[in-house]
Structure 1
């Protein structure tokens, strides 16, 4: 398994400048071996130079032990190796020092300069020693052998450790960059997962609001008409039994339709819950709740009794449309509302969302008239323009009458729901009281 940079930094357990304890053991072993080599070569050097043997021994031990500092000060190790090259000692220290120098993060010009100095020193010392051996008779080979041995020995002592160190250093830097990239990707994935959870929570809240708005628009209008007919039934029960029977039948039909719509909505919501996935980070594209909300509204709209009511299917069978406005206004007139419809422009086909939103605006505005201004004369205006459709529902002041009939229960969500619907399509919604004491609702939706 690949270890990230944070894991490697957490694994740093060595003392001082060593990252791990095994690095201490390795450098200590190399330093002991180098010190032993330099001590043995120092004894031979002291005999050639006429120095006491203990001096050469101590000098070799001190020079060879410098290899312990190779990770901290590789330049110092290489310089010491170059300095003791004339004494023909420190071969292990030179090789290991050059490798460490090439594998470090130092600039290439410093690595090249010190490698060149080590190569020149080895070349000079080997050449001088070979000439001395030939002069003393220890070597009887031709003159061509001296430069060959010098160049070969210098290159053999310098090129392999430098090239190996450069390769290891480049590979180490590559691994570090890959670890940093893996850490960055891991952090980005974690951030994306957190944002996905936030978006999922936000979407759930939005869909709860959307579903509540759908249920309010579909059911509130019919229940409001039921209350209006019940009040009328109470008023005419003794005076006009036939009209009372007719109103009672209307109340019963509307109650059954409202229950059917609620049952259909809840059925679609339960089906949507069974398709949802709780974990947003591992979810393979769950069914959006928006589709559930529209499906609930469409299913409820198809459950209108008789020949179709205010929530009957539109031209495409996917929910209410502008073609159903006449039936919607007919139900309001049956409930005793004086409604006048005026249409400007030529009726044409719009997107399903536009037609549903336009219908719901008119429906909710009429529901508010039933609740707060029962019996008031109402004007519904629809204008089909080149790039937009405009709706306006305006009612006059409520007539003097029974205050209980003019004050039906209201949750205050109708205007909020209409504004949200229109704003989602990029339209403009305005509502407020008129100077004549009535109320006006206006909406413009891009076509």
Structure 2
């Protein structure tokens, strides 16, 4: 006998009619035939006792036994039929399988116990009456025999059915939990992949900003010096020689910074590869900043605020009139804060070379205790100055804004009233930035 006794909807199942699988249909039809054959033989005695034609008794008994075919669909009906024919002493297989199916089904427990009790009492009474007919048997023996038969025909199938029903429900619950866990793991993996992709995109943006800062500034100065070199090559060979030396120095500096950046980029890739090889299959969900830090790795050493004098000196050497104004007492800032402030000034000076050749530029930096502020402002462009014709990708201001806002700072850029342009950035002090 197999458990199920399912009454609920079976949409999407592979079996015919109400059966979940073809095997269930074959089993129930086989049990129905066996029960019909058993009841058919018992119907002969029933017809003799009832005083009806044998064919009528046999047909009635066969129909009663055949009801076992619908045990999964209507278990209550099958049990009621078994209780109804208990006085006729037929359908033992029908009663056993019917009680088992009812106990294993999703029928409410109170209904199951009520019908099982009715079957128990009916079996006990029938056995008592039939055995009592034998005058030579003692009353105690008759009672014991009737009680034993009632227990044997009713208790085992009910207990086994309850066990199989509880086991099936437990397996279904475990399967649901497994499916739910699989869905949750899938969602976690999708979210982790989204976060990782976001972190990779952020890192690509950061790398693009670094490449822009390194290349754009150095190359812009090289173009300016090359233009000056071309203009004075014949008139002032000594100055042309100095400009050529400056171009060479700036090219070497650009190459050095590029090599350092490429070295930093290669190291995390190897580390990430080795970590991925031993990482577990389930990726934990981490906060976005942690994901970015995991991809980007530690902040590499780079330019600092102490190098602003050298940066301004390079622009002066290119012919730009630059004034540097530093106010307040300098304090030690985290690497990312100093790099951001330096890159803002660097990019602003690069834009002055590109878009405002010949204009006077003022670079201001103020240490205010709780924050550090930098500002680069150029005056109106000198119309007679030589325009180098440097290309512009339009990403300079965007990159500066992203850098500053990424540290919780404020960035403002726009034209001045006198026709110049001003770039301002305010970065929080280390404690406020959360990176002391």
With the shorter chain as reference, the TM-score category is 0.7 to 0.9
Unaligned 5+ runs, structure 2: 1-9, 284-290, 430-436
- What is residue 326 of structure 1 aligned with on the other side? 309
Bigger Cα displacement from structure 2, 62-71 vs 393-402: 393-402
Match of 2:339 among 334, 340, 356: 356
Residues 358 and 385, structure 2, Cα contact 8 Å, conserved in 1 = no
1:434 corresponds, among 416, 427, 435, to 416
Q: Distance in 1 between matches of 2:11 and 2:347?
A: 64
CA distance in 2, matches of 1:112, 1:294: 67
Residue 348 of structure 1, CA deviation: 0.9
Aligned equivalents of 2:103, 2:278: Cα separation in 1: 46
Query: In 1, Cα distance between the equivalents of 2:73 and 2:294?
Result: 65
1:87 aligns with 2:66: no
1:14 alignment counterpart: 15
2:407 corresponding residue in structure 1: 425
Residues 1:140 and 2:141 are matched in the alignment:
no
User: For residues 76-129 of structure 1, what are the alpha-carbon distances to aligned partners after superposition, in whole Å with 9 as ceiling and x for unaligned?
Assistant: 000000000011111111111000000001111111111111111112112222
Q: Could you tell me how far apart the structure 2 residues matched to 1:162 and 1:151 are?
A: 16
Matched, 1:35 2:22: no
Tell whether the 8 Å contact from 2:86 to 2:123 is kept in structure 1 after alignment: yes
| In 1: Cα distance, 2:371 partner to 2:127 partner | 95
2:221–2:318 Cα contact (<8 Å) kept? yes
SS in 1 for 2:160: helix
1:276, CA displacement in angstroms? 5.2
Q: Distance in 2 between matches of 1:334 and 1:275?
A: 42
Equivalent pair of 2:202/2:292 in contact (CA under 8 Å): no
Shift of residue 273, structure 1, vs aligned partner? 4.8
Q: How big is the shift at 1:446?
A: 2.1
Change (3 A) 1:173 1:347: same
Residue 148 of structure 2 corresponds to residue 152 of structure 1: yes
The answer for the alignment partner of 2:242 in structure 1 is 246
Match of 1:312 in 2: none
- State the match for 2:330 in structure 1: 347
Structure 1: runs of 5 or more not aligned:
1-8, 299-317
Query: Are 1:52 and 2:53 counterparts?
Result: yes
Partner residue in 2 for 1:67: 68
Tell which deviates more after alignment, 10-19 or 37-46: 10-19
Residue 227 of structure 1 corresponds to: 223
- The CA deviation at 1:148 is 2.1
State the shift of 1:264 in Å. Answer: 4.1
What is the aligned counterpart of 1:395 among 378, 387, 391? 378
Say whether residues 1:237 and 2:233 are aligned partners.
yes
**Cα drift, residue 378 of structure 1:** 1.6
Aligned residue runs from structure 1 range 265-304, under 5 A = 265-270=261-266, 272-273=268-269, 277=273, 298=300
TM-score calculated relative to the size of structure 1: 0.84
Do 2:415 and 2:421's aligned partners in 1 also have CA atoms closer than 8 Å?
yes
3-state SS of 2:210 partner? helix
- Partner Cα separation in structure 1 for residue 70 and residue 296 of structure 2: 72
CA distance in 2, matches of 1:190, 1:365: 46
- For residues 20-62 of structure 1, what are the alpha-carbon distances to aligned partners after superposition, in whole Å with 9 as ceiling and x for unaligned? 2221221122112211221222211222222221121111111
Equivalent position to 2:392, from 410, 428, 442: 410
Structure 1 match to 2:213: 217
RMSD: 2.8
Whether the aligned pair in 1 keeps the contact of 2:232 and 2:240 (CA below 8 Å) is yes
Matched, 1:443 2:425: yes
SS of residue matched to 2:387 = helix
Tell whether the 8 Å contact from 2:83 to 2:95 is kept in structure 1 after alignment: yes
**Secondary structure of 1:340's match?**
strand
2:167 to 167, 171, 179: 171
| Correspondence for 2:366 | 383
- Aligned residue in 2 for 1:365: 348
TM-score by length of 2: 0.86
1:418 CA drift (Å): 0.5
Shift of 1:234: 2.9
Question: What is the count of residue pairs matched by the alignment?
Answer: 412
Q: Distance in 1 between matches of 2:303 and 2:260?
A: 16
In structure 2, do the counterparts of structure 1 residues 434 and 369 end up closer, same or farther at CA, with 3 Å as the change threshold? same
